[in-house]
Amino acid sequence: MSETTDPLKIPYRERERSITMDRYEHEPPVAGDPLADDLESHEELFTINIGPHHPATHGVLRLLTTLQGEYVQRLVPIIGYVHTGIEKSCEDQEYWKVIPFVERMDYLAYYTNAAVYCRAVEQLLGLEIPPRAQALRVIHLELNRISSHLFWLGTSILDLGAMSMIFYALRERERVNDLFEMSSGQRMHTRYFQVGGCIEDIPPGWDEQVHNFLDDFPSRIDQYEDILDRNEIFLQRMKGTGIVSREELHKLSVTGPLLRCAGDPWDLRKAHPYWGYEQYEFGIPVGTVGDNYDRYMVRMAEMRESVKIVRQALERLPDGPYISDDRKVALPPRHELATSMEALIHHFKLVTEGFRVPPGEHYSSIESPRGELGCFVVADGSAKPARVHVRDPSFHNLQALPAMCEGGLIADMIASVAMLDPILGGVDR
């Protein structure tokens, strides 16, 4: 298809016209619309734009809502405002340089993004990662799950109007960020997972710090539940709102805590265990009714389960290498470069060209805090991937938003968006 005008050459004032306030053909809030049929004479339908910039911190999500009074009649989510072209950029980078790109998709659960990509590439290479690396990956993934749920907790309850939760949640999250900083040097987007294992071993004293955190943390969750569980306003807003049935969620391709709140115990950590999850004992919290309160309770319970997993993984942390021994994929340790010529050659090849992956394609998936995160990698034999596609859970969960909100009040819509936990970086990629 020939493009006559380069879209980047259009001056930006004209490009502004693409953000349109024109009505889309399929949702006219005027007479003739079946929605407008049972309106009284003094009522009318009112379309407003809960626009890309709004104080709730769920990112740049635009919700085109058609309201009748305070009731939401139709809801159209419009996304794309933080589309970064990550998938296209990945085709231009070597395999290990793709990891920082992919990490920035779902920017709260950054370890999971890197993990699923590394898993796909390792399966394409047919590479086994050593058990210590597997345990370290599990520990970091579960700590990331805790930190992601904490941030969700803080910002969602802030949306509902209770300002104190964000301070408490961020206080705990700072401790988790400190742990990440100790192990990898960065608080966010740590590039800790590499193809073959982890980039470096944990420093001495790290497991002590993790144990300190884990000893304090369950009592903190108890405190948060104390603040919220008996708060009448919170309960009134959460209970009975945003109910979607299990079958409907299944049809909308929803996974993760959003699906588990409706009673479906589908979790990839139990169904297709990876990296040693089958040896840890933990439960899958499942809701009963499927309303917003269940979503909140499921995530709080998941934090407790993650604490259990991290504790078990730390106790059984095996000794050994933290990255695969295959020198064609993983950098040799620095001390070998002084003595071994082969190590030098491998290092040179890996740093300048990167490793090559035999041609093929693979889709692999793990359980991120939001649902099934999948990564589809196509390799064509060169050092750069031919296609990297990430199946983001928030992208699919967002399709459930109209089902959760239509027919309810606007305030319940805010609560539902908060409990849905969309991360727009993953939605837009």
Q: Which is nearer to another protein, 16 or 342 (CB)?
A: 16
Per DSSP, 323 falls in state B
Q: How far is CA 251 from CA 34, 92, 246, 259, in A?
A: 25, 35, 9, 11
**Residue 57 contacts by C-beta under 8 Å, 6 or more apart in sequence?**
155, 158, 159
- Which range, of 37-45, 212-220, 289-297, 386-394, touches another protein by CB under 8 A? 386-394
Quote the CA–CA distance of 232 and 194 in Å, as a whole number. Answer: 47
Considering the rule CB under 8 A, would residue 187 count as an interface residue with another protein?
yes
Site residues for another protein, window 311-330 (CB under 8 A)?
none
Q: Which is nearer to another protein, 83 or 211 (CB)?
A: 83
Considering the rule CB under 8 A, would residue 399 count as an interface residue with another protein?
yes
Considering the rule CB under 8 A, would residue 372 count as an interface residue with another protein?
yes
Q: Which is nearer to another protein, 55 or 204 (CB)?
A: 55
Half-sphere CA count of 165, side-chain side, radius 13 A: 25
Give the residue, chosen from 209, 253, 340, 382, that forms a contact with another protein under the rule CB under 8 A.
253
Q: Show the tokens assigned to 281.
A: 């004992």
Considering the rule CB under 8 A, would residue 411 count as an interface residue with another protein?
no
Task: Write down the residue that tokens 């590479």 correspond to.
Answer: 127
Q: Least distance from C-beta 199 to another protein, angstroms?
A: 17
Considering the rule CB under 8 A, would residue 263 count as an interface residue with another protein?
no
Considering the rule CB under 8 A, would residue 81 count as an interface residue with another protein?
yes
Q: Least distance from C-beta 324 to another protein, angstroms?
A: 16
Give the residue, chosen from 33, 35, 39, 123, that forms a contact with another protein under the rule CB under 8 A.
123
Dihedral (Cα; 415, 417, 418, 422), 10-degree rounding: 170
Give the residue, chosen from 65, 155, 156, 184, that forms a contact with another protein under the rule CB under 8 A.
155
Considering the rule CB under 8 A, would residue 146 count as an interface residue with another protein?
no
Considering the rule CB under 8 A, would residue 174 count as an interface residue with another protein?
yes
Q: Show the tokens assigned to 93.
A: 């980078």
Q: Which is nearer to another protein, 97 or 304 (CB)?
A: 97
Q: Do the Cβ atoms of 105 and 98 come closer than 8 Å? A: no
Quote the CA–CA distance of 423 and 290 in Å, as a whole number. Answer: 21
Q: Which is nearer to another protein, 103 or 314 (CB)?
A: 103
Quote the CA–CA distance of 184 and 211 in Å, as a whole number. Answer: 18
**Residue 426 contacts by C-beta under 8 Å, 6 or more apart in sequence?**
105, 106, 107, 113, 370, 390, 392, 393, 394, 395
Number of residues that bind another protein (CB under 8 A): 86
Give the residue, chosen from 386, 406, 409, 410, that forms a contact with another protein under the rule CB under 8 A.
386
Considering the rule CB under 8 A, would residue 251 count as an interface residue with another protein?
yes
Give the residue, chosen from 64, 86, 133, 323, that forms a contact with another protein under the rule CB under 8 A.
86
Considering the rule CB under 8 A, would residue 29 count as an interface residue with another protein?
no
DSSP percent split of the chain into helix, strand, coil, nearest 5: 50, 10, 40
Give the residue, chosen from 28, 39, 89, 182, that forms a contact with another protein under the rule CB under 8 A.
89
Quote the CA–CA distance of 127 and 72 in Å, as a whole number. Answer: 51
